[in-house]
């Protein structure tokens, strides 16, 4: 040992320069040496401790601990280190020290000294604890985050992940650690992933983008993710990804999409989506030259089911029909519901050859028709339905979408008019006829507002040829076409519903005329027969209308005769009878027009509160030539007689016919023999002529 260490002062100086607390105790744990750093650390002077065991500074239990620890070290014989509390007198606080103690013995092995080094670790320990605490906090936050977070090594292996991420992918951390990013990525995302990897390579980050993970049960979970590449302190690179589970958002999006583009009842595409698909189909067809077809399908008599059984049954039928339709078409084809009982089917990729394409489409349409014709079980109701289908082929953009749809609709209409349960291809002539009809309908509306309609009067006489009154027959004084007869517009007016305002106008005009005739004795007793169409009669407020017109005009109700046809009365007989009775109660009478052309049974006729039966002109016309008609006319008159009704013949053109009818008991007559239908002024002349005779 160098001599310098034998000098105690030199020794003291040496330890004093050391920046670490050093002290030496003897075998009795009494302080023998202490450096400056130790004085500072303990806030004491060595002089206060020298030769003592410091028991003056510590409570007895702590002292006992120090002493027994020292004894243990001496008996242990080797260096130990441990944490212990020490007192800092100037700070007046306990602090934590990390103390190293090494026992020294003499040659005989007797304990001499304990060489002690102590470091105040209070502050570092505290910051370490704080550090641990904040790490825990971070971990909690990490796990509580609603966003999934995961760390992957650069080769894609999962290193760590928070709870949210684990629940998104349905794996435990252990399982995840055995997986790579690619194990969770469906193959279909390969291209997208390659782009993201490229972004990671060039910009050290990727996303945000959307993909799907395959979770532990093999299901797809839609996620939105982005991430960064981070280099750790050891230089190792890894990828942190932030992952948002977007399942709910996707469901909401899907619901919105569903509502916007699908029919809620049948789940089929709606009109909007249909138009979209058609546009695409047109483009595909334009590219590949193949034909496509559009079918308009309408269920026959659907309204009857809806009206009689209620909408619930109607809905059931529509759902079943949509299933059957889907089963009849291919995957690439579209079945859409336009609303009500109207469906549209778009067939794609039919033949390039038009005829072949037509027969392909027809075959499918025929399958559909057959499928929809087979029995339905709607709850307890066994139901049978048929359909009318219109087809039009398309190829590329040769025709506009609107036109093609219109053509398919026309073809469907044609199938309906062909007696329903039928398939029809679009026919351009039909289209022209329909367009003319549409124009006529428009013009008819105008005619009403511009008062282009007028009434002609055709005289009705008794067997003495004395005027009884007239039938009013409508005419349309068309500004370009001249006088249009009713056969050319009444059927369309009935179909379009325009017959209702038109019929009302006729009734008002006739009643006004009756009222006007009241003032002259020559005309005061004349009756007027007004034709009432089925639709008009079937209106819920028809009775009220008649009453209103009578009141407004002040006409005598007993001079008004309403002509109904048999078919008007066939439907809902009880209701019809009740209505007629209410009107009869006002004093009005009823006549059955065109009698003999319908299907009236005697039984049924007997129940109707009629005044008169009008023998149809078809029988009258052939009285002279057709023995069958002779028999029919005779039978009708006899029957009328039996029922106590009045008989009138229409279409009487010859004396021969008149004589025959008169001979067989027909009470009244109408026809060209007496006068054609004429305008009012002319009619009044006809009247005076008859009265003179």
CA distance 58 to 88: 11
Is residue 421 within 8 A of residue 437, CB to CB? The reply is no
503 binds, among Mg ion, ligand C2E, none (CB under 5 to 8 A by kind): ligand C2E
Q: Measured from the CB atom, is 441 or 653 closer to ligand C2E?
A: 653
- Ramachandran sector of residue 624 (left: φ over 0; alpha: ψ -120 to 50; beta: rest): alpha
Between strands 589-595 and 612-615, the pairing is: parallel
| Residues 6+ away with beta carbon under 8 Å from 431 | 406, 407, 410
Number of residues that bind Mg ion (CB under 5 A): 4
Q: Which of residues 314-333 bind Mg ion (CB under 5 A)?
A: none
The residue range among 32-40, 578-586, 590-598, 652-660 that interacts with Mg ion, by the rule CB under 5 A, is 590-598
Is residue 692 within 8 A of residue 670, CB to CB? The reply is no
387 binds, among ligand C2E, Mg ion, none (CB under 5 to 8 A by kind): none
Place of tokens 């009318």: 388
Closest approach of Cβ 665 to Mg ion, in Å? 20
CA distance 250 to 259: 14
679 binds, among Mg ion, ligand C2E, none (CB under 5 to 8 A by kind): none
Q: Measured from the CB atom, is 594 or 653 closer to Mg ion?
A: 594
> With helix as H, strand as E and coil as C, how does 130-172 read?
HHHHHHHHHHHHHHHCCCEEEEEECCCEEEEECHHHHHHHCCC
Place of tokens 């029988």: 619
Closest approach of Cβ 625 to ligand C2E, in Å? 15
212 binds, among ligand C2E, Mg ion, none (CB under 5 to 8 A by kind): none
485 binds, among Mg ion, ligand C2E, none (CB under 5 to 8 A by kind): ligand C2E
Closest approach of Cβ 645 to ligand C2E, in Å? 18
Q: Measured from the CB atom, is 300 or 563 closer to ligand C2E?
A: 563
CA torsion 247-249-252-254 (nearest 10°) is -70
How is residue 248 written in tokens?
A: 């709910």
CA distance 472 to 449: 20
Q: Measured from the CB atom, is 343 or 489 closer to ligand C2E?
A: 489
Is residue 244 part of the contact set for Mg ion (CB under 5 A)?
no
CA distance 680 to 693: 20
677 binds, among Mg ion, ligand C2E, none (CB under 5 to 8 A by kind): ligand C2E
Of 50, 41, 28, the C-alpha closest to 86 is 41
Closest approach of Cβ 459 to ligand C2E, in Å? 10
The DSSP H or E segment spanning 104 is: strand 93-105
Closest approach of Cβ 530 to Mg ion, in Å? 9
How is residue 279 written in tokens?
A: 């546009």
Q: How many residues in the chain?
A: 693
375 binds, among Mg ion, ligand C2E, none (CB under 5 to 8 A by kind): none
Of 312, 298, 325, 318, the C-alpha closest to 380 is 312
Q: Measured from the CB atom, is 594 or 684 closer to Mg ion?
A: 594
Q: Measured from the CB atom, is 117 or 633 closer to ligand C2E?
A: 633
Is residue 563 within 8 A of residue 471, CB to CB? The reply is yes
The residue range among 71-79, 557-565, 619-627, 664-672 that interacts with Mg ion, by the rule CB under 5 A, is 557-565
Closest approach of Cβ 320 to ligand C2E, in Å? 40
Closest approach of Cβ 443 to ligand C2E, in Å? 17
Q: Binding residue for Mg ion (CB under 5 A) from 16, 399, 594, 629?
A: 594
Q: Measured from the CB atom, is 405 or 661 closer to ligand C2E?
A: 661
Place of tokens 């609603």: 146
48 binds, among Mg ion, ligand C2E, none (CB under 5 to 8 A by kind): none
Q: Which long-range contacts (CB under 8 A, 24 or more apart) does 1-9 make?
A: none
Closest approach of Cβ 453 to ligand C2E, in Å? 9
Identify the three-state secondary structure at position 560. Answer: strand
Q: Measured from the CB atom, is 156 or 598 closer to ligand C2E?
A: 598
DSSP 234: T
Closest approach of Cβ 437 to Mg ion, in Å? 24
Closest approach of Cβ 447 to Mg ion, in Å? 21
Closest approach of Cβ 673 to Mg ion, in Å? 16
Closest approach of Cβ 565 to ligand C2E, in Å? 7
CA distance 20 to 25: 17
Q: Measured from the CB atom, is 320 or 594 closer to Mg ion?
A: 594
The DSSP H or E segment spanning 431 is: helix 428-449
Identify the three-state secondary structure at position 55. Answer: coil
414 binds, among ligand C2E, Mg ion, none (CB under 5 to 8 A by kind): none
491 binds, among ligand C2E, Mg ion, none (CB under 5 to 8 A by kind): none
Closest approach of Cβ 493 to ligand C2E, in Å? 8
- Ramachandran sector of residue 222 (left: φ over 0; alpha: ψ -120 to 50; beta: rest): beta
How is residue 268 written in tokens?
A: 């089929």
Q: Measured from the CB atom, is 314 or 651 closer to ligand C2E?
A: 651
| Residues 6+ away with beta carbon under 8 Å from 329 | 335, 345, 347, 364
227 binds, among ligand C2E, Mg ion, none (CB under 5 to 8 A by kind): none
Is residue 593 part of the contact set for Mg ion (CB under 5 A)?
yes
Peptide bond preceding 286 in cis form (omega within 30 of 0): no
How is residue 458 written in tokens?
A: 């055709």
How is residue 653 written in tokens?
A: 């053109």
| Residues 6+ away with beta carbon under 8 Å from 170 | 215, 216, 217
The residue range among 2-10, 138-146, 428-436, 587-595 that interacts with Mg ion, by the rule CB under 5 A, is 587-595
Is residue 563 part of the contact set for Mg ion (CB under 5 A)?
yes
Q: Measured from the CB atom, is 337 or 614 closer to ligand C2E?
A: 614
Phi and psi for 234 in degrees, rounded to 5? -85, 5
653 binds, among ligand C2E, Mg ion, none (CB under 5 to 8 A by kind): ligand C2E
Is residue 531 part of the contact set for Mg ion (CB under 5 A)?
yes
Q: Measured from the CB atom, is 225 or 490 closer to ligand C2E?
A: 490
The residue range among 29-37, 177-185, 397-405, 591-599 that interacts with Mg ion, by the rule CB under 5 A, is 591-599
Q: Measured from the CB atom, is 53 or 650 closer to ligand C2E?
A: 650
269 binds, among ligand C2E, Mg ion, none (CB under 5 to 8 A by kind): none
Q: How is the chain split among helix, strand and coil, in percent rounded to 5?
A: 50, 25, 25
Q: Measured from the CB atom, is 35 or 458 closer to Mg ion?
A: 458
User: Number of H helices and number of E strands within the chain?
Assistant: 26, 27
Q: Measured from the CB atom, is 407 or 476 closer to Mg ion?
A: 476
Residues that bind ligand C2E (CB under 6 A): 458, 473-474, 485-487, 490, 503, 506, 531, 533, 563, 593-594, 617, 650-653, 670-672, 677
Residues that bind Mg ion (CB under 5 A): 531, 563, 593-594
């Amino acid at each position: 040992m160098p001599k310098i260490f034998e000098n105690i002062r030199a020794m003291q100086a040496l330890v004093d320069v050391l920046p670490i607390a050093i002290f030496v105790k003897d075998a009795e744990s009494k302080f023998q040496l202490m450096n400056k750093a130790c004085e500072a650390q303990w806030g004491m002077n060595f002089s206060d401790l020298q030769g003592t065991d410091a028991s003056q500074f510590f409570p007895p239990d702590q002292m006992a601990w120090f002493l027994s620890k020292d004894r243990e070290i001496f008996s242990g014989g080797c260096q130990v280190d441990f944490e212990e509390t020490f007192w800092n007198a100037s700070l007046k606080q306990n602090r934590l020290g990390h103390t190293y103690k090494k026992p020294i013995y003499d040659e005989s092995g007797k304990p001499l000294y304990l060489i002690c080094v102590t470091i105040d670790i209070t502050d570092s320990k505290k910051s370490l604890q704080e550090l641990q605490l904040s790490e825990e906090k971070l971990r909690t936050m990490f796990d509580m985050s609603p966003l999934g977070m995961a760390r992957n090594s650069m080769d894609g292996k999962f290193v760590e992940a928070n709870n949210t991420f684990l629940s998104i992918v349905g794996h435990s951390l252990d399982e995840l650690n055995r997986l790579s990013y690619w194990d969770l990525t469906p193959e279909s995302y390969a291209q997208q992933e390659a782009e993201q990897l490229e972004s990671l390579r060039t910009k050290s980050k990727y996303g945000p983008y959307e993909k799907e993970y395959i979770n532990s049960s093999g299901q797809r979970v839609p996620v939105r993710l982005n991430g960064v590449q981070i280099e750790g302190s050891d230089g190792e690179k890894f990828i942190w990804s932030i992952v948002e589970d977007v399942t709910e958002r996707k469901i909401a999006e899907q619901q919105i999409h569903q509502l916007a583009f699908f029919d809620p009842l049948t789940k089929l595409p709606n009109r909007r989506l249909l138009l979209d698909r058609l546009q695409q189909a047109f483009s595909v067809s334009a590219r590949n030259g193949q034909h496509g077809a559009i079918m308009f399908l309408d269920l026959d008599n659907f309204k009857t089911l809806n009206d009689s059984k209620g909408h619930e049954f109607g809905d059931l039928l529509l759902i079943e029909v949509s299933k059957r339709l889907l089963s009849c078409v291919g995957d690439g084809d579209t079945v859409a519901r336009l609303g009500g009982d109207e469906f549209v089917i778009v067939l794609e990729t039919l033949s390039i050859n038009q005829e072949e394409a037509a027969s392909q489409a027809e075959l499918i349409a025929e399958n559909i028709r057959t499928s929809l014709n087979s029995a339905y079980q709607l709850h307890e109701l066994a139901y049978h339905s048929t359909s009318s289908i219109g087809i039009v082929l398309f190829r590329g953009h040769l025709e506009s979408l609107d036109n093609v749809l219109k053509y398919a609709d026309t073809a469907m209409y044609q199938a309906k008019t062909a007696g329903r349960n039928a398939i029809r291809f679009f026919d351009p002539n039909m289209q022209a006829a329909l367009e003319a009809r549409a124009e006529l309908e428009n013009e008819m509306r105008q005619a009403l507002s511009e008062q282009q309609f007028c009434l002609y009067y055709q005289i009705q006489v008794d067997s003495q040829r004395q005027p009884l009154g007239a039938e009013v027959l409508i005419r349309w004084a068309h500004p370009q076409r001249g006088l249009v007869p009713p056969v050319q517009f009444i059927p369309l007016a009935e179909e379009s519903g325009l017959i209702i305002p038109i019929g009302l106008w006729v009734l008002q005009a006739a009643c006004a005329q009756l009222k006007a005739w009241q003032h002259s004795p020559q005309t005061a007793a004349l009756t007027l027969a007004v034709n009432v169409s089925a639709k008009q009669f079937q209106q819920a407020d028809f009775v009220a209308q008649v009453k209103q017109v009578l009141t407004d005009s002040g006409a005598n109700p007993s001079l008004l005769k309403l002509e109904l046809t048999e078919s008007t009365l066939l439907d809902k007989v009880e209701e019809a009878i009740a209505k007629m009775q209410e009107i009869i109660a006002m004093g009005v009478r009823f006549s059955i027009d065109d009698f003999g052309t319908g299907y009236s049974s005697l039984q049924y006729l007997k129940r109707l509160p009629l005044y008169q039966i009008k023998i149809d002109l078809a029988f009258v016309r052939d009285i002279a030539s057709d023995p069958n008609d002779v028999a029919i006319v005779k039978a009708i008159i006899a029957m009328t007689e039996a029922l106590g009704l009045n008989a009138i013949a229409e279409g009487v053109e010859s004396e021969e016919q008149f004589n025959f009818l008169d001979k067989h008991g027909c009470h009244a007559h109408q026809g060209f023999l007496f006068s054609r239908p004429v305008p009012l002024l002319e009619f009044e002349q006809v009247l005076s002529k008859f009265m003179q005779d």
